[in-house]
Amino acid sequence: MKTASPRDAFPAPEHDHVACRDATLNRAREAFDARGLKLTDLRAQVFGEIAASHHAIGAYDIIDRLARQGTRIAPISVYRAIDVLLAAGVVHRLESRNAFFACHASHSADRQHVILACATCGIVAEVAASAIFDAIDTAARSARFEPQTRMVEVSGLCAHCRQTVASAP
Amino acid sequence: MKTASPRDAFPAPEHDHVACRDATLNRAREAFDARGLKLTDLRAQVFGEIAASHHAIGAYDIIDRLARQGTRIAPISVYRAIDVLLAAGVVHRLESRNAFFACHASHSADRQHVILACATCGIVAEVAASAIFDAIDTAARSARFEPQTRMVEVSGLCAHCRQTVASAP
DNA sequence: TAATTTGTGTGATAGTGTAACGATCGTTAC
DNA sequence: GTAACGATCGTTACACTATCACACAAATTA
C-alpha cells in the first residue's frame, strides 16, 4: 500500500475529492471496527461533513450543513458524535481554532503528527515527525515534567497559497 | 541577572509569590516601555489577575475576580486588554484551554517555548527549546509549507504532582 | 424476558469571543 | 486656542463553543 510522502500532506487543489472522501470514509469504518465502536448513521453523517473538505470545521457549521440537508440535530448530539470520532482517531481537533478536521491519510492513530494549518485557504494537513515529539518529551522531562499529551500546531502558508501570494500584484 | 534553569521552569510550591509577582509586573512595565505601549490602569489590573498565579486563567475568571474587587468590566474590555498584553509578550495564550497565563520568566519574547501545563494542579510553565522549533520548521517545509506561528503545548504531570500521586494510597 | 448498557432527543444553560457605536482624553497641526 | 486625529474605554447586543440534566428507545447481555 502506498504511503503518502510529506510532499503529499496537502492535497493538490484539483485532486479527486469524491474518491478521497470515500477512501477516508472507508478507513473510518475500519477504524471503528478495529476498536469495537459503532459507526451509527448520525456519526457517519457528522463524519461526512467533517471529511467533506480538508478544512477544519466548527461544530455549529456541521449543524448548519446537516440542517440544510434536512437533518436538524442539537449541539450536544454533534459533540457526542465528535467525541466518538475523536476516540476512533478518524478526526482530530484543531485546538487553535476550536474546530475539527478529518484524518485524510491512513497513518497509525498514535497521534504523533505535526498539524499544519494554512492561514490563507484554511486547509489542514498532518506530517509525521516522531523525532519532534521525542525532543518535546526530553525538553519536558528536563523540567521534571512527565508529558502525557502533546500538541503541535503550525500556522503558515501552504504551497498553493504561497504561489498565489507570490504572483499577486 | 540569574537565568532560570529548565529545572526551575515550575515554581517551587512554597516560593515567595508576592516577590515573584512583583518582579513579573516590573518586567511587564519594561516590556511595555520597550515597545512603546502604554500599561494603563485597566491593563495593569488585568495583568495583575493573570500574574496572580502560575495557572492559566480564563477571560471570564478575570472579570469575576476584578468584580469582587469592585471593578466591573465588560468582556470586550478584558479581551482588549489581553490583546495588548499578548502583543507585549507578557502573557501567552494556552490554546488547549482557551486561557491565558503570565510569562513569569524574563525570556526573550520570540515565543519559541514549549508550554507545559500540569493536568493536576493546572500550573503552566515554559521551557526554551529552539531546536524543537527548528525541527518543526523543517518538517513543515518538507510538506512545502511555510511556517509562520508555531505552538507546542504539553499536558502532563509536574514534579510536585507526580510525587503527590506516587505517595497516594 | 428482564436487566443493563448504549445511543439519541429535548430544553436549558454555561463559557468564550466580537461587532457596532459612542464618549473621553491627550496630542499634534494650523 | 481650536480643530482634527488617534487611542482608550464604556455600553449594548450578539455569535460561537460546549455541557448538564433528564427522558426514552434501541441494542446487548444475562
- The β-bridge partners of A162 are none
Q: What is the pLDDT of residues A48-68, one digit of tens each?
A: 999 999 999 999 999 999 999
Residues of chain B with pLDDT under 70: 1-7, 106, 108-111, 165-169
C-alpha cell at position B62? 478575570
Cα dihedral B101, B105, B106, B109, rounded to 10, equals: -40
Question: Identical fold at A12-102 and A113-167?
Answer: no
Chain B residue at shortest CA distance from A124: B145
The residue-averaged pLDDT of A131-160 equals 96
Using C1' positions and the CA of B77, the closest nucleotide is D9
Of residues B121, B64, B116, the one with CA closest to residue B92: B116
Mean pLDDT to the nearest integer, A10-27: 90
Assess whether pLDDT exceeds 60 at residue A104: yes
| Grid-cell match 503529499, residue found | A8
What CATH code is assigned to A12-102?
Answer: 1.10.10.10
What is this structure's pTM? 0.92
Contact B109, B34 (CB under 8 A): no
Q: Confidence band (pLDDT; 50, 70, 90) for A2?
A: very low
pLDDT at A109 (0 to 100): 61
In this prediction, residue B5 carries a pLDDT of 60
Residue of A nearest to B148 (CA): A156
Cell of B122: 493546572
pLDDT in tens, B127-145: 999 999 999 999 999 999 9
Please give the pLDDT value at position B7: 61
Nearest to A156 among B9, B140, B158 (CB): B140
| Domain assignments of chain A as residue spans, ordered by start | 12-102, 113-167
Asked if A135 lies within 8 A of B136 by C-beta distance, the reply is: no
Nearest to B116 by CA among B2, B26, B27, B8: B8
The band of A9, judged by pLDDT with boundaries at 50, 70 and 90, is confident
Mean pLDDT of A94-118: 87
Tell me the pLDDT of chain A averaged across its residues: 91
Q: Is the pLDDT of residue A1 over 60?
A: no
Instruction: Tell me whether A13 touches chain B (CB under 8 Å).
Output: no
Contact A144 B119 (CB under 8 A): no
Rounded to whole angstroms, the Cα distance separating B17 from B14 reads 8
Nearest residue in A to B154, CA atom:
A150
Q: Any idea which architecture B113-167 has in CATH? A: 2-Layer Sandwich (3.30)
Pick among B145, B150, B151, B152 to test the A interface (most A CBs inside 10 A) = B145
**A53 CB closer than 7 A to any strand C atom:** no
